[in-house]
Amino acid sequence: MIKRILFVVFVAVGVTGFGKDKKDHSDTLKMSVDSLMLIDTAIMPPPVMIGNLDSLVNLWYVGKANNALVPDSLPAMPDSLFKRLSDSVYIKRLAEIESPIPMVFNKRVRSYIELYTIKKRELVQGMLGLRDYYFPIFEAELDAANLPLELKYLPVIESALNPRAFSRAGASGLWQFMYYTGKRYGLDINSFIDERRDPVKSTKAAVRFLEDLHKIYNDWLLVIAAYNCGPGNVNKAIRRAGGHRDFWKIYYYLPRETRGYVPAFIAAAYTMTYPEEHHLYPLPSGLPKSTDTIMVTKPLHFKQVSELMKINIDYLRDLNPQYRRDVVPAGKKAYPLRLGFNYATDFAAIEDSVYKFNRNKYFPEGKLLASPSKTYYPPVVPKGHAKVYYTVKQGDAVGLIAQWFHVRTSDLRYWNNIHRNLIRVGQKLVIYVPKNKVSKYKKINSMTFAQKQASIGKSVSPPKTKTVAKEPEDDSYVYYTVRRGDNLWSIAKKFNGVTNESIMKLNNINDVRKISPGQRLKIKKKS
């Protein structure tokens, strides 16, 4: 499953709502959208989505461009802006968008159009400033694959055109790929690089994924829905709807997030096509109009480039978001470094000097990092708190540890750079507790699980012993062991002539979600 989210936040998109609440930056409108009765509350997007729209303000190149989000040169907003347009206007404009994707209009689409064009104007204007940089990248890859160019609007609702968007479920980048899906489509993901964040490579991967989905459904609205929630959920909705292969007929059988996803896509296509009609104008992005790529052949730190060439390091990060630790890990193979056209020319002229600059400082003894676990965004120590350590035990989970130490799970993840709540036995976690309670919290390390649960008022029931007869394997079949991140659709793709339905039938599975890591599945008869 790639993800389920609309307008993800910078740290957040996947199968649930994402993001932290942020201040609503639409205050410049000076009036309440709710008081104007502009959005039908019966089809109002979930609150988490509206909060996620504000994620765009986290982007350096939007938040600090020209030291102002709203340039003085933007035209004043007329009073007519707040008047609800008639449905006929929306219908006519959508009909004029030439696309093989049906631009249907209904009350759900209308509610999202009004969300984008009225309630979240400032954020949409930020994306209008970014489209000149990102849309040509999307269009070139979509055109090469003969896919509808309007699919370029998917990253608008996936990531708000934020290449560093990261969901609680682990989806990352402009196109919000989950880890295993990204790897399946050829993206390199390791401690130093995450090509899900690379605008060019992630777009190539997304195009291949969209091609695969279209081969399955041959219907673009179903493709868009499956991109959001995965083919398994769409197939289940089709079965529950009696075999109908029409998005609007299977609408109520889809996950709640996906019901809003297609209307949001149509509304995003409308908004990006008709911004001027709603007095929406691009905010400056700070990204260069023309760039060039340097192939780096040796390990290179962003600070070497920044300090020697007098380039703001945030500029390097914005053009090269795939590098997780400000390091281009070249050596065994070359990696690209994207720069503004003039900077690229200057870099080529002094390339050897850049590699040599402060080399022992950033790559002592030729190592990529002196401390690979060190990040360049050290956590801020809460005032009046001290550091304690906790060693992860068997059966521990991020949520449990947070409860035992009376801290928020988000803080625990932040302090320890934890993604997708993944921790391992033996791992040492840093936790900040009140200084006057350090001795109390240090004792938690030596407590049993039952004692730790008792400390927060919870008891532990004795485990129930249950003997489960293990079914012997049949040598005439091919078997597969389920891994973390697998689903029936991804497993079926590993074997020729196998479908997720055939796997379900062979293993008496009634629900596509009822598989778990370590489970042995019967795949097919041996030939």
Closest CA to 169 of 251, 228, 248, 215: 228
From the candidates 158, 276, 365, 501, give the one annotated as an active-site residue: 158
Is 297 in contact with 355 (CB distance < 8 Å)?
no
* HEC-encoded secondary structure of 38-81: CCCHHHCCCHHHHHHHHHHHHCHHHHCHHHCCCCCCCCCCCHHH
Active site residue 277: no
Q: How far apart are CA 2 and CA 15, in angstroms?
A: 8
Is 80 in contact with 51 (CB distance < 8 Å)?
no
Burial class, 389, CB count within 10 angstroms (exposed 0-12 / middle 13-18 / buried 19+): exposed
Number of H helices, E strands in the chain: 23, 8
Measured over the CA atoms of residue 231, residue 237, residue 240 and residue 241, the dihedral's sign is negative
Structure tokens at 192: 């130093």
Structure tokens at 58: 């986290």
How many Cα neighbours within 13 Å face the side chain of 209? 31
How many Cα neighbours within 13 Å face the side chain of 273? 22
Burial class, 45, CB count within 10 angstroms (exposed 0-12 / middle 13-18 / buried 19+): buried
Q: How far apart are CA 334 and CA 332, in angstroms?
A: 7
- Helix, strand and coil content of the chain, in percent to the nearest 5, comes to 45, 10, 45
How many Cα neighbours within 13 Å face the side chain of 54? 14
Is 134 in contact with 154 (CB distance < 8 Å)?
no
Dihedral angle, C-alpha 374, 376, 377, 383, nearest 10 °: 60
Active site residues: 158
